[in-house]
Structure 1
Amino acid sequence: MGRRRRRGAAGTGRTVLPGLLAVAILALTGCTAGPVPQRAVPDEPGPGKAAPVTATTTAGQRSLLHRAEQELLRACMAAAGFRFRPVPPNPLPEARDFPYVVDDVRWAQRHGYGSGLRRQAERLREEDPNRVYLRGLPAEHRRAAVAALNGTPGGPGLRAELPGGAVIGHSGDGCRVAAWRELYGDVERWYAASALVDNLGAIRQRRVLTDPRFRAAVPGWADCMRRHGTPYERPGDARAAFLGPGNGTDGTDGTDPAREVRTAVQEARCADSSGLAALARRLDRGHGEELLREHRAAVEQAERLRAAALPRARALLAR
């Protein structure tokens, strides 16, 4: 991938599942896709309060942009003499992310904490045709294919400063940058804005998890869990018991599926009865709105560029 430079550290939130091949080939080349920030809830600004920032592009429109980018990557890589198969934006739709506490009883009854989905995601990742193709190339051709996709290191490139001071970069050439340029036009502004916005979800989760109100509500949840024979002090402890190292993540059946489901279901019930789930949703919404206001310029820039790219994406996919 392109160059990365860091000043300071950006926060990350806990998730149930790893990245699920939203951009499958990036996992092989060292890149990752960040979460999309939640849409702010429209409301009337109070005295001294800035108007909320709202997303103007829908999830469906962002999916359309993803498909258009994938098609541009396919065509560009073919012109460079390599194969690239477009990957869907969400290859495992039933996967869910519960960064604070499992709060969906029906989902927990079916998936527990998601260890089965996690193994399925790993299989999908290993079987991804782009990864398989790259693994099958001679080393020299593999390096050339990665450079064709993500650009060559060194020289002028793209730059984005993230909240907290971290600075990341991306090579200024390659098929990925060419696809961004064709879709979004001003690729420098797109990269700077979208990279920052993509990091807001993890920061929002960290703020919720460290919020004194959330921490104060966790003991009530733990009391409920203890009364029902599932003694965990924090939701993260329960998840780690079933999703941590050695718990079936290597493809073996390292967990007790029935116990996993029972524990996850009880977690969801206690999250509801203790009020932790409702509180987490309120805090998530509040911190999300606060972050969108703090980074209004980048959020609005990314939204404007997405909206302007939609006609180009539709035309491309209609060919």
Structure 2
Amino acid sequence: MRRAFSRRPGPIGLRRPTATALAGTALLLAVTAYVSAGAPAGEGGAPGPAETVAATTATGRSLLHDAEQELQRRCMTTAGFRYWAKPENPLPEARDFPYVVDDAQWAGRYGYGSVLEPRVEALRRQDPNRKHLGGLSPERRHAAMTALNGTTDGQGLRAELPGGAVVGHSGNGCRVTAWRALYGDVVGWYAANTLVGNLGGIRRQRVAAEPEFAAAVREWSACMREHGFPYRTPREARDVFLGGKGAPDRAREVRVAVQEARCAHDSALAAVAQRLDHHHDRELRREHRTAVERVERLRAAALPRARAVLGR
């Protein structure tokens, strides 16, 4: 799987880029969570359509994101702290290539994304929430984090993930206050949304385990060897240029990434990956239909509230 860096939040602001492919950034404060059993949660992308409930559009999801951030800002202000809404997509140039880079034009400009890593770091440094918290006393900083993320005492929120892992979140704090204002049923929202958000990682694991996918990767590797790049997998190629192993050879990175994209199409790896990804997406959403439909119903009901919050 390939992403340029993780979307998972760090303690304050952006995490440092990792060696996983350029996809996006996250400007947010820490999420209070625990894992009590099972395997670590996988990463999830935006949900696809539900079986019988219309999926929220990208515009609708953006509206909900903005309303949630505004509600968090208001709540933090009431609690006596400053909070800046995080942008949904602070680095639009970033792209997500979970299986193989398949856009030669993007690769020709960004390679595997190492050129964007300094901008990720700059966004992390410039994050107003990070800068603000860094200027507070330890006691005041702890109080601000608690106001946003909630306390660990009392009844918390809980979600059971596929495979048996259980994750949780505090049942109070400004983040939960925003969820409750938008979705009403915050317990149901957290449980369903957390589960659905983890289906993307499972989907990618299932695709990678398919014999057809493995065969397409071998064809891709043969194509790369024919052009002088002896990499067995797309991940192996990417790892040469990402992950902080010294200064990357920018010109070679671009050449390899562009050829990867060309071979992705010549070998049919791109088409196979897309087809298998869609297949497993449908399968997973059928397997977890109750959670998928609950998320979409709660989102649909929340849209008028979001518009009211934002005055739109």
Whether TM exceeds 0.5 here: the answer is yes
User: Aligned partner of 2:45: which letter?
Assistant: V
Q: Is the 8 A contact 1:100 1:280 kept in 2?
A: yes
2:19 corresponds in structure 1 to: none
Q: Secondary structure at the match of 2:29?
A: helix
- Distance in 2 (alpha carbons) for counterparts of 1:214 and 1:256: 30
- For 1:18, the equivalent position in structure 2 comes to 6
State the SS of the aligned residue for 1:26.
coil
Structure 2 unaligned regions, length at least 5: 9-13, 15-24, 35-40
Mark the runs of 5 or more structure 1 residues left unpaired by the alignment. 1-12, 43-51, 248-253
Q: Provide the rounded CA distance (Å) in 1 between the counterparts of 2:56 and 2:162.
A: 23
Q: Percentage identity across aligned positions?
A: 60
Q: In the superposition, relative to structure 1, how do residues 191 and 38 fare at CA in structure 2: closer, same or farther (>3 Å)?
A: closer
Q: Provide the rounded CA distance (Å) in 2 between the counterparts of 1:147 and 1:34.
A: 25
Q: Is the contact made by 1:190 and 1:302 (CA closer than 8 Å) also made in structure 2?
A: yes
Q: 1:127 and 1:237, CA in 2 relative to 1: closer, same or farther beyond 3 A?
A: same
- In the other structure, the counterpart of 2:235 is 236
> What number of residue pairs does the alignment pair up?
291
Q: Contact between 1:17 and 1:97, CA under 8 Å: does it hold in 2? A: no
Tell me by how many angstroms 1:117 deviates. 1.7
Cα distance in 1, alignment partners of residues 54 and 206 from structure 2: 21
Structure 2 equivalent of residue 205 of structure 1: 204
For residues 128 and 228 of structure 2, what CA distance do their matches in structure 1 show? 45
* TM-score, structure 1 normalization: 0.86
Deviations 1:11-34 (A, max 9, x none): xx5422222856522358789995
TM norm structure 2: 0.88
CA RMSD of aligned residues (A): 2.1
Q: 1:206 to 1:119 in 2, by over 3 A?
A: farther
Give the Å deviation of 1:56.
Answer: 2.0
Instruction: Name the aligned partner's letter for residue 289 of structure 2.
Output: R
Matches within 5 A, 1:129-144: 129-144=128-143
CA distance in 2, matches of 1:137, 1:33: 34
Bigger RCO (CA 8 Å, 6+ sep): 1
User: In the aligned structure 2, how far is the partner of 1:37 from the partner of 1:316?
Assistant: 23
Q: Deviations over 1:102-137 (max 9, x none)?
A: 000110001000112233122212221011111111
What residue number does 1:8 align with? none
Runs of 4+ in 1 over 4 A off after TM superposition: 20-23, 27-34
CA distance 1:111–1:14, change in 2 (3 Å): closer
Over residues 203-261 of structure 1, what are the superposed CA-to-partner deviations in whole Å (9 max), with x where a residue is unaligned? 111111121110111111101101101110000001111112324xxxxxx10111110
